[in-house]
Amino acid sequence: MGIIQDPQYAVRYRGFVLLQQQNQSWLVRPERSPMRLLPFRTPACSLADVKALVDWRLEQKSNLISVA
C-alpha cells in the first residue's frame, strides 16, 4: 500500500497553469509556447497571492517591452 498524499490542485489563469505543491508553494508554468514568462516557483502562499504575482510579472514584462 502506498502513502496517501494530499491532493494537488491545478488552476488555469491567464495562459498559465498554477500547480499547488505539497508544501503549499506553487509551480507556475505557461500553458503553451511561446512562453511569455519562464516557469517559476513561489513561496508558500494563497491562490490569490499567486494570481497577483502572475499579474505583476506580466505587467513588468510589458513595461520592459514598451521601454525598448
Q: Which residue has the higher pLDDT, 65 or 30?
A: 30
Is residue 5 domain-resident? no
Is residue 24 domain-resident? yes
Is residue 3 domain-resident? no
To the question of pTM greater than 0.85 for the whole model, the response is no
Secondary structure of the chain as H, E, C letters: CCCCCCCCCEEEECCEEEEECCCCCEEEEECCCCCCCCCEEECCCCHHHHHHHHHHHHHHHHHHHHHC
Average pLDDT over residues 8-21: 91
Is residue 15 domain-resident? yes
What is the grid cell recorded at 46? 494563497
Total of domains in the chain? 1
Is residue 1 domain-resident? no
Is residue 51 domain-resident? yes
Q: Structural domain of residue 50, as residue ranges?
A: 10-67
Cβ atoms of residues 36 and 60 within 8 Å: no
As a whole number of Å, the CA-based R_g of the chain is 14
